[in-house]
Amino acid sequence: MDTITTQPFSDQRPGTSGLRKKVKAFQTPHYLENFVQAIFDTQTDLRGGVLALGGDGRFYNREAIQIILRMAAANGVKRVVLGQGGLLSTPAASCVIRKYKTDGGIILSASHNPGGPEDDFGIKFNTPNGGPAPESVTEAIFERTKSITEYSIIEGQPVDLDQPGEQTLGETSIRVIDSVKDYADLMMQLFDFERIHQLFNSGVFSMRFDAMHAVTGPYAKYILEGLLGALPETVINGEPKVDFGGGHPDPNLAHAQELVSLTSGPNAVDFGAASDGDGDRNMILGRNFFVTPSDSLAVMAANAHLIKGYATGINGVARSMPTSQAVDRVADQLGLACYETPTGWKFFGNLLDAGKIALCGEESFGTGSNHIREKDGLWAVLFWLNLLAVKQQSVAMIVQAHWHTFGRNYYTRYDYEAIDKHAAEGLMAHLRSELDNLPGQTLDSYRVAYADDFAYTDPVDGSRSEQQGIRIGFEDGSRIAFRLSGTGTEGATLRLYLEAYEPDPTKQMQSTESVMGRLVHIALTLAEIEQRTGRTKPTVIT
Ligand code: VG1
Ligand code: CO
């Protein structure tokens, strides 16, 4: 075993979902090693314990895995459960950690961020419940990175990442598994595969799933085309590539255009879905119809009783703060508990572990349930397929009927990417300084009901998270929120979230753009976006 002398890097604080940097940063000598050693130093159960390991297959995945394996061996990890080919989707990693009862997992991913030598890489640690480490753990890891002086690694031949079965590296046994099977087994417990199979065989239903050249390709092909009998062309862009085929593996209307066009026009398929780089996000499309992620969560909550895995009823739901309040309306009517958490999946973990909620989601194309502790792209797709099979209605009909019952929460998000960090911080500080003046004011006929900087006290462990984004709520149920991204790797990214509530069914078929016009204007003016960032329009609207 070698002990290598190193010096701390000052920028290894994990963000919303792990440590994300340019590949070049991770290739800096000792950079990856320092962070990994900080995990081993703080997560002491891993010594003599079991570690799950895998990533989304992006550029540098295989190299990083070889380094982590040699460090795991040097740090006394007894066994590593490794995804074949170094691949584990984020939800599959969560499934594997729980199924094999490992002492945690390391997932290599920068999720929806582009991959390749000039683009992004990331690493995150998940705890034995299968979920992203809570802030107490990520802070401990960060603290350790600030004082690290050495790390341990063994010499050794490269491990064969592709051959399933057991091998040894030093004293550590490495078991390469095909996680597709484990993941599919879990899905079969939750959904009525027989019924979905019938839907695909009915001859009147067609779908496309866009894996965006990311990690879900093999999972989607096995489950949709293999087990459920969907036609062989159902999964598009199904081969994982290190650079995601040059694309941006983010399943939204801007980046999944090929799928959008397949669900548009007279020859459109009935159902379209896409997933992101690491397989935890999902986009749901009907024929000429886009389901906002916030609506998707609400529809799931309202219909969970129709789905095998949730048929006995759900007790509670949760959404992140910027996510629309559509699910709150469902919870209200059905008498479910409803929690509003800060952005990022790590905040759902305690609620799920404590059995307080069964479903949760974020506006950023993330939905999930108590089956694992990560958001889960393919799970959401299967949930929708099961619902379509049971209801025998189109996606549009299901969502419109939902609006009719619960009202419609029009929703949109503006992202201003790679803006100047100081300008972004100044803008947020300015908004904070306005908070006390806003309640009671009328802005373009919207009366402000409350304005605050969102803070959260975890109802399970009492931990407190402050400054989680500015919320401005209006008396008619509309809302504006602002926050700075914690996953970007260049400058700062400002996110502006807008929501308008419309209870009247005769006014629920307008375009989101037209409904949002006045709220957008209020937000741009309040935050002085153009003056402070120099941007006249957002980088992307979702
Ligand atoms: C973004 C999303 C957030 C999501 C996070 C990780 O974070 O807004 O909802 O949980 O990405 O998703 P931020 O801090 O950039 O707004 V994934 O699929 O990138 O791991
Ligand atoms: Co992701």
Domain CATH for 137: 3.40.120.10
Query: What is the share, in percent, of the chain residues with pLDDT greater than 90?
Result: 95
Q: Find out whether the beta carbon of 16 lies less than 6 Å from any atom of ligand 1.
A: yes
Question: What type of residue sits at position 459?
Answer: P
Q: Find out whether the beta carbon of 485 lies less than 6 Å from any atom of ligand 1.
A: yes
Note the pTM of the prediction, 2 decimals. 0.94
Number of structural domains, the chain?
A: 3
Nearest-angstrom CA–CA distance, 465 and 340: 12
Q: Same domain, yes or no, for 467 and 421? A: yes
Nearest protein CA to atom 16 of ligand 1, as residue: 485
Decide if pLDDT at 490 tops 90. Answer: no
Nearest-angstrom CA–CA distance, 371 and 326: 22
Q: Same domain, yes or no, for 252 and 151? A: no
3-state helix, strand, coil in the chain (%, to 5): 35, 25, 40
Contact (Cβ atoms closer than 8 angstroms) between residue 359 and residue 334: no
Q: Same domain, yes or no, for 21 and 98? A: yes
Residues that are catalytic: 111
Q: From residue 435, how far is each of 108, 368, 431, 440, 443 by CA, in Å?
A: 39, 33, 7, 11, 14
Residue of 250, 487, 495 with the most ligand 1 atoms within 8 Å of its CB, for mutation: 487
Q: Same domain, yes or no, for 445 and 324? A: no
Q: Same domain, yes or no, for 172 and 229? A: no
At 250-300, the pLDDT tens digits run 999 989 999 999 999 989 999 999 999 999 999 999 999 999 999 999 999
Residue 223 has which token pair? 């489950």
- Which of 375, 406, 437 is the endpoint of a domain? 406
At 298-338, the pLDDT tens digits run 999 999 999 999 999 899 999 999 999 999 999 999 999 99
What's 225's DSSP letter?
Answer: I
Q: What is the pLDDT of residue 488?
A: 77
Beta bridge partners of 339: 318
Contact (Cβ atoms closer than 8 angstroms) between residue 345 and residue 368: yes
Question: Which ligand is nearest to the Cα of residue 278, counting in written order?
Answer: 2
Task: Name the one residue in this structure whose structure tokens are 């001859």.
Answer: 203
Three-state secondary-structure class, residue 190: helix
Q: Give the torsion sign (CA, 224, 229, 234, 240).
A: positive
Distance 216 CA to ligand 2 centre (A): 11
Decide if pLDDT at 207 tops 80. Answer: yes
Q: What is the pLDDT of residue 515?
A: 94
Q: Find out whether the beta carbon of 486 lies less than 6 Å from any atom of ligand 1.
A: yes
What mean pLDDT do residues 436-453 have? 95
At 103-144, the pLDDT tens digits run 999 999 999 999 999 999 999 999 999 999 999 999 999 999
Q: What are the start-end ranges of the H helices in 287-417?
A: 293-303, 326-334, 349-353, 377-391, 395-406
Q: What is the pLDDT of residue 487?
A: 85
Q: What is the pLDDT of residue 486?
A: 84
Q: Find out whether the beta carbon of 341 lies less than 6 Å from any atom of ligand 1.
A: no
Distance 374 CA to ligand 2 centre (A): 9
Q: Find out whether the beta carbon of 345 lies less than 6 Å from any atom of ligand 1.
A: yes
Nearest protein CA to atom 17 of ligand 1, as residue: 111
The whole-chain average pLDDT of the chain stands at 96
Q: Which uninterrupted H or E stretch holds 105?
A: strand 105-108
Cβ count within 10 A of residue 437: 10
Q: What is the pLDDT of residue 454?
A: 97
At 457-472, the pLDDT tens digits run 999 999 999 999 999 9
Q: Same domain, yes or no, for 25 and 111? A: yes
Q: Same domain, yes or no, for 29 and 44? A: yes
CATH number at residue 506: 3.30.310.50
Q: Same domain, yes or no, for 135 and 9? A: yes
89 φψ region: left (φ > 0), alpha (ψ -120 to 50), beta (else): beta
Distance 277 CA to ligand 2 centre (A): 6
Q: Same domain, yes or no, for 240 and 386? A: yes
Q: Same domain, yes or no, for 99 and 109? A: yes
Nearest-angstrom CA–CA distance, 493 and 174: 39
Nearest-angstrom CA–CA distance, 40 and 73: 11
Domain limits for position 418: 408-541
- Which of 365, 391, 406 is the endpoint of a domain? 406
Q: What is the gyration radius of the CA atoms in the chain, in angstroms?
A: 23
- Which of 157, 179, 201 is the endpoint of a domain? 179
What is the atom index within ligand 1 of the atom nearest the CA of 344?
10
Nearest-angstrom CA–CA distance, 338 and 358: 10
Q: Same domain, yes or no, for 309 and 395? A: yes
Q: From residue 221, how far is each of 208, 228, 229, 297 by CA, in Å?
A: 11, 10, 10, 25
Q: Same domain, yes or no, for 153 and 201? A: no
What mean pLDDT do residues 210-229 have? 97
What mean pLDDT do residues 189-200 have? 98
Q: What is the pLDDT of residue 442?
A: 95
